[in-house]
Amino acid sequence: MAIAGMRADDGLIVAGKRYASRLLVGTGKYKDFAETRAAIEASGAEIVTVAIRRTNIGQTKGEPSLLEFLPPSKFTYLPNTAGCYNAQDAIRTLRLARELLDGHDLVKLEVLGDPHTLYPNMPETLEAARQLVKEGFKVMVYCSDDPIQAKMLEDSGCVAVMPLASLIGSGMGILNPWNLQLVIERVQVPVLVDAGVGTASDASIAMELGCDGVLMNTAIAAARDPVMMARAMKKAVEAGREAFLAGRMPKKLYSAAPSSPTTGTIAPSQPKAA
């Protein structure tokens, strides 16, 4: 007879595929590919984001490639559209990604609004999402934490919505847990916090709120010890998920119910004679 608490987390299901890890990580901003790989292995992540960029023409002989350090046979690549500021550029980038990765169709759509905040441009994001879904892509979409927009993205056929916790690369943590909760309640597809996580507790809070996963890059890559932070994030996501599944106790300002028995205490001392 299994104890209820022995139930294991059943993993993250995106576009019909199950992943044991609910932590997704980026591959940017590391010192070198060796550090990238060590950090990603420590994180336990199975889905890793990559960017699509112009090759250096004529001077790339012998240069190592990311794909050699993170073999696509071992990791699920999630090509992104970072740096795209309109729907058309994002669509073209992901068509190139699909060609590059031999028909791989799970993608991360992000259409940015401006280069200072990297806040998403939602009208362009929605337009791109609709077209990409039409072309057969499985779209995980970076978005604002607006529950109405999130629902529109779900209705457009996106396989996951990924609201920001705070701005990309800011490390400011979960600025609006209330909106995240509204998004989680509103949509059926997985909700992953993408952007803004700064440290392990931020990842735990996201998971405790009921998020299905967390995607991060800078929080790990910009830590003093990226590999150790990757390990911390793995535990934080697992801890937050288990706390969510376990169901936290209600918050009370104070409690008249101490944890130790209220009976059987030893005889009260005699008051001291005056």
Q: Closer CB to another protein, residue 128 or residue 182?
A: 128
CA-wise closest residue to 126 among 157, 165, 147: 157
User: Pick from 90, 152, 168, 200: which binds another protein (CB under 8 A)?
Assistant: 168
Instruction: Lay out the site mask for another protein across 89-128 (x = CB under 8 A, - = otherwise).
Output: ---x--xxx-xxx---------------------------
Among 54, 116, 248, 252, binds another protein (CB under 8 A): 54
The answer to the question of residue 255 lying near another protein (CB under 8 A) is no
- Rounded Cα gap, residues 69 and 19, in angstroms: 21
Give the total of residues touching another protein (CB under 8 A): 39
**Site for another protein contains 262 (CB under 8 A):** no
Q: Which is nearer to another protein, 7 or 92 (CB)?
A: 92
Structure tokens at 51: 């960017």
Query: Using CB under 8 A, which of 67, 133, 167, 227 touches another protein?
Result: 67
Q: How many CB atoms lie under 10 A from the CB of residue 7?
A: 11
Residues noted as catalytic: 108
Tokens of 31: 């010192």
Binding another protein (rule: CB under 8 A), the pick from 34, 65, 71, 148 is 65
Beta bridge partners, 215, equal: 24, 194
Supply the DSSP symbol for 200.
H
The whole-angstrom separation of Cα 132 and Cα 147 is 21
**For strand 160-163 and strand 138-143, is the pairing parallel, antiparallel, or unpaired?**
parallel
Kindly state whether residue 204 participates in binding another protein, applying the rule CB under 8 A: no
Picking from 239, 209, 234, the residue whose alpha carbon sits closest to that of residue 219 is 234
Q: Can you tell me which of 49, 144, 156, 166 binds another protein, judged by CB under 8 A? A: 49
Which residues inside 206-235 make contact with another protein, applying CB under 8 A?
215-218
Instruction: Give Cα 106 to chain centroid, integer Å.
Output: 15
For another protein, which stretch binds (CB under 8 A), given 52-60, 131-139, 144-152, 264-272? Answer: 52-60
In angstroms, the CA 213 to CA 60 distance is: 36
Q: Which CB sits closer to another protein, 100 or 245?
A: 100
Q: Which is closer to another protein, CB of 60 or CB of 262?
A: 60
Q: Does 265 bind another protein (CB under 8 A)?
A: no
Region near another protein per CB under 8 A, out of 88-96, 144-152, 176-184, 247-255:
88-96
Distance of CA 175 to the CA centre of its chain: 15
3-state secondary structure 77-120: EEEECCCCCCHHHHHHHHHHHHHHCCCCCEEEECCECCCCCCCE
User: Nearer to another protein by C-beta: 88 or 181?
Assistant: 88
CB 167 within 8 A of CB 144: no
Which residues here bind another protein, judged by CB under 8 A?
26-30, 33, 36, 49-55, 57-61, 65-67, 77, 79-80, 82, 92, 95-97, 99-101, 168, 195, 215-218
